[in-house]
Structure 1
Amino acid sequence: MRRRVPADRSGGGPVNVGKIAAGFIVIVSLIGGAFLYYTQVYAYYQPVAFQPGAEIMLTPVAGDAPEPIIAEDVTGIDGESSPIRFRACFKTPMTLAMLSETYRIYDKAEPLNAPGWFDCFDAAAIGAALEKGEAVAFLSQANIHPGVDRVVAVFPDGRAYAWHQLNDSLED
């Protein structure tokens, strides 16, 4: 009868190489994931420098040239990597009635999500308010980039938000 020799369980040999390779893959994946997260959420955004007196513009009903409106406490972000990364938050003392009579309403307004760290801009809340009629969207500037409009949504209490969204000008 043959005697069985117990297996070597000292941890040496090919088993250690496999553990090291798996650990290396996990570490590289975590670093790559963190880098990808950072680039998507933080890296491509920078604060917007608004010109005093011309921070926010709206397009009048009787004309195509946007004109500045009264805007206070304007903060914004933008990114060069995409024409639709622009977001801004501000306040205006102008009433919705006056704005609605003077400037173009934007019917297809769909606010886009902002990075979580830009916490003044809540796209879901703005979109819900637009659907319920609690806020009104206006055309700020048509084709600010080819195929992209700047849109401004204003609430009755003067809170207002701006963003870029795709328009229908490039559709076939």
Structure 2
Amino acid sequence: MSGKLAGAFIVIVSLIAGIVMYWTQTYAYYDEVSADSADMTMVSIATGQPEPVLISGFEGIDADSSPLKFRACFTTQMSPPALTETYEIYPNPTPLTAPDWFGCFDAARIGEALERGEALAFVSAREIHNGVDRVIAVFPDGRAFAWHQLNETLSE
């Protein structure tokens, strides 16, 4: 009988630990980010410096536990031709997945659109954290998505 009791105890403790681990990774560390604190910029081709971008409808999340947890969704009024003439294109953009509860950010769909050329990725900020850049992908209809991505200093 004690073997069954010990086995049941191990299973229950493992189940509880798994639930707690899932919750902490998916919900516990994320905080909402306001448009003011997110400081959405794009790097100018002319100056090489970040410039503020006019945005609306901003939704964002971030976490102190990792520099790669930032995600944002918003719209911009600038057209793709104006953006490509003004701001630096980001090479090899790779959107990282967001938690399921942050519904506006679909990394797979954004990545596919970038691969097909339906969206363009721009440098928002280089070295926003050590070895991490902020990237903004913009669709022709003005929808835009931002995330943090490892840059060439750490990705190799």
TM over 0.5, yes or no? yes
Secondary structure (helix, strand or coil) at the match of 1:169 reads helix
Match of 1:64 in 2: 48
Q: Which residues of structure 1 form unaligned runs of 5+?
A: 1-15
Asked if 1:38 corresponds to 2:23, the answer is yes
Judge conservation of contact 2:29–2:63 (CA < 8 Å) in 1: yes
Q: Distance in 2 between matches of 1:66 and 1:91?
A: 18
Match of 1:159 in 2: 143
Judge conservation of contact 2:44–2:86 (CA < 8 Å) in 1: yes
The 1:171–1:151 alpha-carbon spacing in structure 2 relative to 1, beyond 3 Å, is: closer
Q: Normalization by structure 1: what TM-score?
A: 0.87
Deviating 4+ runs (over 2 angstroms): 169-172
Amino acid at match of 1:42: Y
Instruction: Name the structure with the higher helix share.
Output: 2
Structure having the higher Rg: 1
Judge conservation of contact 2:39–2:52 (CA < 8 Å) in 1: yes
Amino acid at match of 1:83: P
Instruction: Name the structure with the higher strand share.
Output: 2
Superposition RMSD in Å? 1.5
Deviation at 1:20, TM superposition (A): 1.1
Q: Distance in 2 between matches of 1:141 and 1:165?
A: 11
Asked if 1:150 corresponds to 2:134, the answer is yes
Secondary structure (helix, strand or coil) at the match of 1:116 reads coil
* Larger relative contact order (Cα-Cα within 8 Å, sequence gap ≥ 6): 2
Match of 1:19 in 2: 4
Q: Distance in 2 between matches of 1:18 and 1:169?
A: 53
Q: Which residues of structure 2 form unaligned runs of 5+?
A: none
Q: Percent of pairs identical after alignment?
A: 56
Match of 1:131 in 2: 115
Deviation at 1:22, TM superposition (A): 1.1
Judge conservation of contact 2:34–2:58 (CA < 8 Å) in 1: no
Q: Distance in 2 between matches of 1:51 and 1:171?
A: 29
The structure 1 residue matched to 2:61, chosen from 72, 77, 98, is 77
Asked if 1:95 corresponds to 2:79, the answer is yes
Secondary structure (helix, strand or coil) at the match of 2:152 reads coil
